[in-house]
Amino acid sequence: MKKNSSPSPGRGQGEGQGLAFAVVEDVAPDVDHGRFPAKRVVGEEVEVTAACFAHGHELVACAVRYRPPGGDWREMPMEHLGNDRWKASFDVDAIGRWEYEVLAWVDHLTHWRDEFIRRLDADDIRLAAKVGADLVERSGDGADPKLSRWAKSLRTETDLAKLRASATDETLFELAREHEPRDGLARSPVYPVQVDRVRARFSTWYEIFPRSCSEVPGRHGTFADLDERLDEIAGMGFDVLYLPPIHPIGREKRKGKNNAVVATEGDVGSPWAIGSREGGHTAILPDLGTAADFRHLVMATRARGMEIAMDIAFQCAPDHPWVAEHPEWFARRPDGSIQYAENPPKKYQDIYPLHFDTPDWKALWEALRDVFLFWAKEGVAVFRVDNPHTKPFAFWEWVIAEVKRACPDAIFLSEAFTRPRVMHRLAKLGFTQSYTYFTWRTTKAELTAYFTELATSPTREFFRPNCWPNTPDILPYHLQNAPLEAFRIRLVLAATLAASYGMYGPAFEAGDNRPREPHSEEYLDSEKYQLRQWEGRRGGLTPLITTLNQLRRAHPALQSDWSLAFHATDNDQLIAYSKRAGDDRLLVVVNLDPRHAHSGWVTVDPAPLGLDPHAPFRVQDSLGGESYGWRPGANFVILDPARAPAHVFTVA
């Protein structure tokens, strides 16, 4: 027969007396019950909410305890919102891992005072005052002489008016509460918050192949050639210059133009086929320049307010040094040959994936960590990681933590166009930003649903979107053989819907719209496999790019994602949305059809913009310069993509 077990209620930890009668639950922000951190950037606040209560009519008091990386605990009292909900905020001013917890305890003093105020009978009042005196004495035990005098007054005063005045003295009451024992104390788990630099939340990326930067047709470009373009790129308002892999490119099984299986003389190969006799992931392709040239490029980029983002692709060409030095790091097919990369029907014969199930996994992990650390020492703090979803989650959690220990301001962009849960897991594990499905979301319904999810769902605590209208791998179908107006539309959407966005720069500026073949998202004459000459083809979109990036820098509303709100339109080819940061308000209306003008009514919801629901307001178009008088409710617009695909209104 099973014996009855003894009761074992939770107990307060370290403060107060007795059992943990208070309850703390439903704490936010919380990512998987504290398993992973919520994310913030320096200068933001962490708003903490929780449900805190106790049994019966007992009242509770609550506080948030928090501490910066390597610092001491600090405490902030929480405000009661009603219905047992409590809130407090604290600012984060340092990069690293912060922590916080919520405390709740029985608030005897507040309970006593609330009941004292309602008492009417004289004897009852005097008796209640003595109860209060006992509570004050407990609070003021050696803490402050004023509390001892107050307790004495509550115990000995006979005049009811004076007694009431004494019992309701707000200054003495707050002093007593400061020293009140935290009876029934309960604590939440400790929750982490990862704080990054501001560029983790707000960034503008420009991807460029240095090898195509030469002004001489047919000549391989260099870091020095790219250096000549830095003023132009910075002038357009970009702050992250993303370079595809800069390492030696394999010669064995090198791909030719348009992904031809057999290369011809002079074919330069894919930068993602990393490694040759000149070296691997810590070497530089000699045709681009030397290590000194790269360091100069890093410093020159920094001097213009930008920084280099390096592509990290953990895969190898057949002649990468690791293939000979560490054959156990690669999977073998039944015929003994090394398994090359495939994504059927795509085949990448020039790339060998790394085999993370190798018995020598520890040495492999350490070698890959050392790749990050090598380039961090060369001045790189932003890493775009290729296909992280094809490597184990445990590896990413470990390696990102290792790199951040050495380089706390490191930023990691996850290039994982895959299932949502996989993308979210990578973000939880430490990836700072993530590519998104924006590339394929085109209709008003798709864009509204997707960006509402990104801005308002619980995933926003850990998933920071970075939106790209195109990449070297992806010429989306809606841009294939499309007019330049389609590129303008996608540019406006990316730059105003998302706080971080990027573009495969020269190809996008040129409106490169030619697919290699029908039903393929590959470019014709893809720069992945050959040199391209962009001189003379740029300029059509450059003015709009520059204007939008200037607006992004000038308007705090465009520098974060959480304020995004959509407004109704009566035409599905028109999408309207707003962003707000304090008094900075922007309202954007975009025509989604690149070939036809559209008109309709935009119904402005004043609440997300913080507007008087009954007062008119003015909007000024930052793209066209026009100013209009608008009002909450329906307002008429007409947009012709041949003239301007969008209004970006500043709301006054």
* pLDDT 10s digits, 551-597: 999 999 999 999 999 999 999 999 999 999 999 999 999 999 999 99
Q: Is pLDDT at 307 greater than 80 in this prediction?
A: yes
Nearest to 307 by CA among 241, 224, 245, 244: 241
* Domain spans of the chain, in order of start: 23-107+184-195, 109-179, 204-555, 565-651
DSSP state of 23: E
Q: Is pLDDT at 1 greater than 50 in this prediction?
A: no
Q: Which residue has the tokens 């930068």?
A: 271
Model confidence, pTM = 0.94
Is the separation of the CB atoms in 440 and 405 below 8 Å? no
Residues 360-370 have a mean pLDDT of: 98
Query: Right CATH number for 204-555 from 3.90.1150.10, 1.10.10.10, 3.20.20.80, 3.30.930.10?
Result: 3.20.20.80
Q: Is pLDDT at 7 greater than 50 in this prediction?
A: no
DSSP β-bridge partners for residue 40: 195
pLDDT-based confidence at 500, cuts 50/70/90? very high
State residue 17's pLDDT score.
Answer: 53
- Give the percent of the chain with pLDDT over 70: 96
Do 565-651 and 23-107+184-195 fall under one CATH topology? Answer: yes
Which amino acid belongs to residue 309?
A
Q: Which residue has the tokens 């979301």?
A: 441
Residues 37-55 have a mean pLDDT of: 98
Cα–Cα dist 78/49, whole Å: 9
Query: Which member of 415, 512, 527, 593 is catalytic?
Result: 415
Is the separation of the CB atoms in 510 and 538 below 8 Å? yes
DSSP β-bridge partners for residue 63: 77, 103
Is the separation of the CB atoms in 185 and 13 below 8 Å? yes
Per-residue pLDDT tens over the stretch 200-243: 999 999 999 999 999 999 999 999 999 999 999 999 999 999 99
Active site includes 415?
Answer: yes
pLDDT-based confidence at 18, cuts 50/70/90? low
State residue 123's pLDDT score.
Answer: 80
State residue 220's pLDDT score.
Answer: 98
133 Cβ partners below 8 Å, 6+ apart?
151, 152, 154, 155
What is the token pair recorded at 601?
């009514």
Active site includes 278?
Answer: no
State residue 3's pLDDT score.
Answer: 43
Residue 606 CA to its chain's centroid (Å)? 27
Per-residue pLDDT tens over the stretch 87-134: 999 999 999 999 999 999 999 998 888 888 888 888 888 888 888 888
Query: Which member of 386, 512, 527, 593 is catalytic?
Result: 386
Q: Is pLDDT at 12 greater than 60 in this prediction?
A: no
Residues 447-454 have a mean pLDDT of: 98
**Read out DSSP for 19-52?**
B--SEEEEEES-BTTTTB-EEEETT-EEEEEEEE
565-651 is classed in which CATH architecture? Answer: Sandwich (2.60)
Q: Is pLDDT at 153 greater than 70 in this prediction?
A: yes
State residue 15's pLDDT score.
Answer: 52
23-107+184-195 is classed in which CATH architecture? Answer: Sandwich (2.60)
Nearest to 144 by CA among 179, 118, 190, 195: 179
Within 13 Å, how many C-alpha atoms sit on residue 138's CB side? Answer: 16
Nearest to 99 by CA among 194, 231, 25, 4: 194
Is the separation of the CB atoms in 47 and 66 below 8 Å? no
Is the separation of the CB atoms in 464 and 435 below 8 Å? no
